[in-house]
Structure 1
Amino acid sequence: MPIYRIAIGAPGEASHPDAIKAAMAEFFSMLIFVFAGEGSGMAFNKITDSGSTTPSGLIAAALAHAFALFVAVSVGANISGGHVNPAVTFGAFLGGNITLLRSILYWIAQLLGSVVACLLLKFATGGLETSAFSLSSGVSVWNALVFEIVMTFGLVYTVYATAVDPKKGNVGIVAPIAIGFIVGANILVGGAFDGASMNPAVSFGPAVVSWTWTHHWVYWLGPFIGAAVAAIVYDNIFIGESAHEQLPVTEF
């Protein structure tokens, strides 16, 4: 991947109104996504008194996250691009589709959105715990790391194919639907093993509110590696030099 595609950004970009609006869009999209996704697990546990890794619990989690992510991506797409995931933002940065300074704004907004969503859930449910992501019995950190890498690779690859590729044409709502579907499908695969995060912000909010940090690094390293591999593979093989649209960095 040519290094010139990666842009740091102009000094004034962090205070530019468009950048601030985009960060706010990421904050609200993440709040919507985490409130619905994490909240569905809490509701299921309250109703059934059983773990979310039961077959019905996995299906409920997959559907809730798929539907919520479809909405979260859709409502943010025209303002911020609808990343709703620090790993997606990282993949977009490596492909030269967003500057480092704007990426940092997105990361801050995404993390804050997740924390606020979990705080609201805890308050609204009368103090129920927002459970942090954890490894299932018999699953090592290396098993979980591979799960997170592969699942996030599939997610970011889907983002590139349906939303980033300049040859995608007018796909309309296809991108949010595809992104929601791949997350839902991955939860059905990896949910019973490590919770299937694919999103450092989704893991961060519950960890902060419950103050549980066991193996938390897995939910950062895995998604960032998966996102990087997907961005590099898709950008170099399928977008290529001639089709790549250089990131405009002078508007700030």
Structure 2
Amino acid sequence: MPRRYALGRADEATHPDSMRAALSEFIATFIFVFAGEGSVLALGKIYRDVGTSTTAGELVAIALAHAFSLFAAVSTCMNISGGHVNPAVTFGTLLGGRISVLRAVFYWVAQLLGAVAATLVLRLATNNMRPVGFYVTSGVGELHGLLLEIVMTFGLVYTVYATAIDPKRGGLGTIAPLAIGFIVGANILVGGPFDGASMNPARAFGPALVGWRWKNHWIYWVGPLLGGGLAGLIYEYMVIPTEITHHTHQPLAPEDY
């Protein structure tokens, strides 16, 4: 259907489709954060002495863990919720008119709860290892980290639009989860040494809450939301022809709800 903007109807909040979509976002985000943060803790357990920085090999392993797990997470929920697994992706699709405000709020709550649940389980399963989360490394300013998050999340959400939303995507839709996983892994190789390369407020929030590490945390909300929103607006209004009727990443609730 064409893009349109809506707050969402009251009965959408209790409709089974909304519940299924929110549940799928919760589980998918749990899968992604568990593997992503878990890879950081695992490498710390195996290799890292206290106070040393991430090595090149560890960075590659972390990037691969995030790429693989996001590919799996998006694949598990793409046909149910649209495969957002990220509040910034949801924000981009909201600004693009692909999802109602009410559905977006449902997704945000599910994504944040999924991230917190995954980190809690990790802390329990690793004998109370404190989650690492994200922070700007020494010698890198907060504004530099903010710019990195904006640019990296722009690339992520632009990739989501190009492979999962664009009506001209054709066969690209089948590789959307793979492309989304690849861009996250590639961006971690770029931004990891500087600010950890979150690109996902939920991915940052879960470890920050459970590990109680809030240093520079605002960057991992403002940056991804700005980058994701900008990508959604640019792709919607400068790339997708307005006259084409097309399928959406996550449709608004049907009119007969």
TM-score range, shorter chain: over 0.9
Opposite residue 38 of structure 2, the aligned amino acid is G
Alpha-carbon distance between aligned partners in 1 of 2:200 and 2:137, rounded to the nearest angstrom: 18
Residue 242 of structure 2 aligns to a residue whose secondary structure is helix
1:251 aligned residue: 256
Alpha-carbon distance between aligned partners in 1 of 2:76 and 2:242, rounded to the nearest angstrom: 31
Question: Residue deviations 1:108-149, cap 9 Å, x none?
Answer: 000000000000000001000111211100111100000000
Change (3 A) 1:251 1:215: farther
Superposed CA RMSD: 1.6
1:32 aligned residue: 31
Alpha-carbon distance between aligned partners in 1 of 2:241 and 2:55, rounded to the nearest angstrom: 44
Instruction: Decide whether the 8 Å contact of 2:37 with 2:133 is kept in 1.
Output: no
Query: How many pairs are equivalent?
Result: 250
How far did residue 52 of structure 1 move? 6.2
Alpha-carbon distance between aligned partners in 2 of 1:251 and 1:237, rounded to the nearest angstrom: 32
Mark the runs of 5 or more structure 1 residues left unpaired by the alignment.
Answer: none
Change (3 A) 1:112 1:70: same
The farther-off stretch of 65-74 and 169-178 is 169-178
The farther-off stretch of 117-126 and 236-245 is 236-245
The farther-off stretch of 184-193 and 8-17 is 8-17
2:207 aligned residue: 206
Instruction: Decide whether the 8 Å contact of 2:164 with 2:173 is kept in 1.
Output: no
Using the aligned pairs only, state the percent identity: 57
2:93 aligned residue: 92
Is 1:6 matched with 2:5? yes
Is 1:47 matched with 2:46? yes
Mapping for residues 49-64 of structure 1, pairs under 5 Å: 49-50=48-49, 53-64=54-65
Opposite residue 46 of structure 1, the aligned amino acid is K
1:18 aligned residue: 17
Mark the runs of 5 or more structure 2 residues left unpaired by the alignment.
Answer: none
2:223 aligned residue: 222
Is 1:173 matched with 2:178? no
Opposite residue 42 of structure 2, the aligned amino acid is A
Q: TM-score, normalised by structure 1?
A: 0.95
Mapping for residues 68-147 of structure 1, pairs under 5 Å: 68-147=69-148
Opposite residue 104 of structure 2, the aligned amino acid is S
